[in-house]
Structures are given as C-alpha cells and as structure tokens.
Amino acid sequence: MSAALSELEKEVIDIFVRIAGVLSLPRSVGELYGLLYISPKPLCIDDCMRKLKISKGSTSQGLKILRSFGAVNTVYVPGDRKDFFEAEAQLRKIVAGFVNEQVRPHLDNGKARMAHIDQLIAAEEGEHREFYASRMERLKGWQKRAGSLLPFALNFIKPE
Amino acid sequence: MSAALSELEKEVIDIFVRIAGVLSLPRSVGELYGLLYISPKPLCIDDCMRKLKISKGSTSQGLKILRSFGAVNTVYVPGDRKDFFEAEAQLRKIVAGFVNEQVRPHLDNGKARMAHIDQLIAAEEGEHREFYASRMERLKGWQKRAGSLLPFALNFIKPE
DNA sequence: GCCATCGTTCATTATTTTTTGAACAATCTG
DNA sequence: CAGATTGTTCAAAAAATAATGAACGATGGC
C-alpha cells in the first residue's frame, strides 16, 4: 500500500512534473498531481508523503495550491478522520481555475501599467516621442491579441 | 547617452521582465529585450550594460538567448567594430522562434514518454489496468488538444 | 606581427525558490 | 476533558537558478 512508486507511477508523475515546470509551479506540486491522477482511489496526506518521499509541509502546501485552482478535490471517506484527495480529471475546470487564479491578475496589472506608460509618452517632449508612441501601439496590439486568444483557447477545450 | 533609465524605459522594461518570468526566462533577458524594444536606435553591449547596470557576462548571455529565438537582431553600423542590436518587433517571428526553440522539444519528448507509458500499461496485470488505460486516454486527449491549439494560435497571430 | 578592442565562457558568488520539520491549532474519541 | 490524531504554518536549511567578472580567444588596425 505504501510501497515505492511503480514504474508506471514514476512515468506519469514525471509528465506532470514537467508541466508544473512550464507553469512555474514547484516540483512537488507536479508530483502530487501526477500521483493522484494515476491513483485508482483517493489518497490521504500520509499516503502522498510516503509514496513521494516528501515532507508533510510540502505535501500540505502542495495540495493547498492544487485545490486553489481546482486541480484536486477532497473526498469524504466514511469512518476515517483523515482528509482524502483525488485529482480533478476535467481539464476544462483546471484550466479555468488556473487562469482565474494565476493568470488574470497579471493581465489586469499589465493593462494598468500600459495606461501609465501612455501618460508618460503624452508628457514626452523629445524627438523620439513618435517612435515611443508607435512602439506602444504595437505593444497594445500584442496585448489585445493575447487577450482575445485566451477566451478562445478556453472555449476550444470543450466541456469534456 | 549612457544616462540612467528614464521613467518610460523603466516601465517598458518592467513589462518585459514580467513576460520573461512567465516564459521562465531570466530577468536580465526581459530587461534587455525591454530596453531594446523602446530604444529608437540599436545599442551595443556596452550600452546595455551601462543602462541596465548588469554585468558583461549577463549581457552577452542574455543577448545570445534573445538571438536564439529571433527576438533580437544584429545590426551593422558602418565604421564601428562593435556589434549592435535591435529588438525584432514582429511578434509572429518571435513567437515562432520561441515555440521552435523552447517548446517543441518538450512536446516531442512528451510524446515519446506517452508511448512508453502505453507499453507499461499493456504489460500491467493487476485489477487497475482498465483505470490506468482510461487515465492515459484522457491524457492523450489533452495532449492532442494542446497540440492542435498551438498551430492555430500561431496562425491567429497574423503576419503583421 | 603586435597591440588594443570586443565578445564569450565559465568557475565562483549571490539571490531566489523550494523543502523541511518542529511547533502549533483544530478536531475527534473515549 | 485528557489524550491522540491530523493538518497547517513558518523560520531555517537546502537546492536551484541567475549574475558576476576575470581569463580567454578572436578580430581588426596599424
């Protein structure tokens, strides 16, 4: 039950560790999700710790992060005091949660920042003002496209 | 000429530093691109060093990374031995370069890994084989969608 | 060919990020 | 309520990542 990781588990976990890297999430978060993703039944914190050989702190913290964007759900197991966890398998939910929690704040911040830059350029006196303005226009174009790509991508990932 | 950064420069650089963070690139790489992006004329390594107050090593290394996916181009300046650099402003080129250099390798690796997992599951004897297989199917579905989203996104960013 | 200038490399140093584990708070059990 | 059991928090340690700068090689001018 609390044996070492099987070859299969190791490989699956490895995939999610890489994905975590891309998303700038700690390695342990990827490990936890991978373990739960391939687990036929919900696991408790202690199971995770033992199988992944990571500390209780990392486990608790990692599961907290995963819950924060809905990648992991808690499961009630009758007759057990412990919390049990299982991986959310609906990609759409996870992506939506991740975007809302970790991406949107940045995008919003970016917009405010752009507005400030516009002001700076308006106040600019030097010979390069036109150039600056054109660069900013271009930057706004980028932002706009990225922004409109996002909802599209979300829609692309159809409700499973 | 080698004065401190203007408010405008600082703000623009800040934007690209954030973007660098999202892409898991070093801060200095974001700084360099931002500086060049808002610079009306090409800059040499020494200009970059002085304005950003970063070391020669970081500057050289950072520009190398930026060139590797076409975010920065070298410019020939007659009568000067130094190399000069300017930001590539065509988003399409940069994204394409970045995807080819930094993203594709991972995707390819992922595919190989999946194939290996399929083998492991085929060899599986235990009662959970069906479950494992269904999880892998789901994972492949994700991979496929992500894969088909990519070319679409590239196309979405039209040739400026 | 020799000296000066320029860019790169890479071992070391600094910084940032992640993990650890012990202390704590909360909750159940009898 | 006392004693366990469970999960969380957070200061300290460890690990990973990035920056530095001196040494080096390459190139051009004289």
Given this model, what pLDDT does residue B159 score? 65
Strands (E), B3-160: 43-44, 72-75, 84-87
* B38 contact residues in A (CB cutoff 8 A): 132, 135
Q: Domain A7-87 adopts which CATH fold?
A: Arc Repressor Mutant, subunit A (1.10.10)
Given this model, what pLDDT does residue B97 score? 95
How far in angstroms lies nucleotide D2's C1' from the CA of residue A46?
Answer: 25
Q: Measured from the CB, is A61 under 7 Å from any atom of strand D?
A: yes
Where along chain B do its domains lie? 7-87, 91-156
Give pLDDT tens digits for A6-54. 999 999 999 999 999 999 999 999 999 999 999 999 999 999 999 999 9
**Given A11, A114, A153, which is nearest B116 (Cβ)?**
A11
Give the residue with minimal CA–C1' separation from C5.
B81
Residue B57 has a CB neighbour count (10 Å cut-off) of: 10
Residue B64 has a CB neighbour count (10 Å cut-off) of: 11
* B121 contact residues in A (CB cutoff 8 A): 8
With CB atoms and an 8 Å threshold, state whether B18 touches A110.
Answer: yes
Greatest Cα pair distance in chain B: 75
Given this model, what pLDDT does residue A2 score? 52
With an 8 Å Cβ cutoff, is B7 touching chain A? yes
**Given B11, B24, B37, which is nearest A120 (Cβ)?**
B11
Give pLDDT tens digits for B127-149. 999 999 999 999 999 888 888 88
How far in angstroms lies nucleotide C25's C1' from the CA of residue A32?
Answer: 25
User: CB of B73 within 8 A of CB of B27?
Assistant: no
pLDDT confidence band for A65 (50 / 70 / 90): very high
Instruction: Give the C-alpha separation, B74 to B134, whole Å.
Output: 51
With CB atoms and an 8 Å threshold, state whether A91 touches B15.
Answer: no
Q: How do the pLDDT tens digits run along chain B, 160 residues long?
A: 457 999 999 999 999 999 999 999 999 999 999 999 999 999 999 999 999 999 999 999 999 999 999 999 999 999 999 999 999 999 999 999 999 998 888 888 888 999 999 999 999 999 999 999 999 999 999 888 888 888 888 887 776 6
